[in-house]
Amino acid sequence: MGVGIEVKDLNAWYGSNHTLQDINLNIQPNEATALIGPSGCGKSTFVRCLNRMHETNPIAKVTGSVRIGDLDIYNDASPVEVRRRIGMVFQRPNPFPTMSIYDNVASGLRLNGFRNRRVLDEVVERSLKHAALWDEVKDELKKKSGASLSGGQQQRLCIARALAVDPEVLLMDEPASALDPVSTAKIEDLIFQLKSQYTIIIVTHNMQQAARVAERTGFFLNGKLVEFDSTHKIFTNPRDKRTEDYITGRFG
């Protein structure tokens, strides 16, 4: 099951660039939360802070508190443990090109020491089913490489790979921006299905997509969280004029 996320006084820097400023919000378990805002506003930095990818940059710095369920991710756990509990799907599909479909999905488990073939088979099948890809690839699991799939299939393969290690949270950074409309619809349908088991955070430039898939939406601007509320309220009656200006296309 998904878990709640509590963010308090989160600040992030790249060198002297203060990219996130005093972010505070609570994300509900087993919901999809959308993050919107213009390019460079801090959305992607925020999700990278949630699974400690931000600190992989040597000039990056983070202060503040992030709790995922009962885990304080910056004080109670290693980055490896955090990334096991918090999966990440990027803007462009990134399957391991020399690996088969099967090995792509099983890769995270093997890195964690799993070797039992029966367990691996079960997890690979379950993860591909959860990613709505099983029926399309089940006869070619070990014959085809992940890179041989279409763009939409590759993205669902990456989702399956993230799900295989049994995370509680799934972060999705513009997961459909490089995909055609049919593949985008499949990803959105998948988000609806996955919410019952995971907490999902999706970064998107597509306002209609946020309105379709998310219960709550946060609007970022210039490194600050301007507004965070139910998606319906954000899009129909925002509190802040800047939110209204953005969603109506006056800037961004």
Q: What are the residue boundaries of the structural domains of the chain, listed by start?
A: 5-93+168-247
Residues 84-103, mean pLDDT to the nearest whole number: 91
Residues 156-174, mean pLDDT to the nearest whole number: 93
Residue range 5-93+168-247 in CATH 3.40.50.300: yes
Q: What is the pLDDT of residue 179?
A: 84
DSSP single-letter state for residue 148: G
Element (H, E) at 7: strand 5-14
Q: What is the pLDDT of residues 44-79, one digit of tens each?
A: 999 999 999 888 889 999 999 999 998 999 988 888
Q: What is the pLDDT of residue 178?
A: 79
Q: What is the pLDDT of residue 144?
A: 94
Q: Is 86 helix (H, G, I), strand (E, B) or coil?
A: strand
Q: What is the pLDDT of residue 252?
A: 63
Q: d(Cα 79, Cα 95) in Å, to the nearest integer? A: 22
Ramachandran region, residue 214 (left: φ > 0; alpha: ψ -120 to 50; beta: rest): beta
Residues 240-247, mean pLDDT to the nearest whole number: 95
Please, which pLDDT band fits residue 237 given cuts at 50, 70 and 90?
A: very high
Q: What is the pLDDT of residues 101-123, one digit of tens each?
A: 999 999 988 887 878 899 999 99
CA angle 17, 80, 90 (to 5 degrees): 60
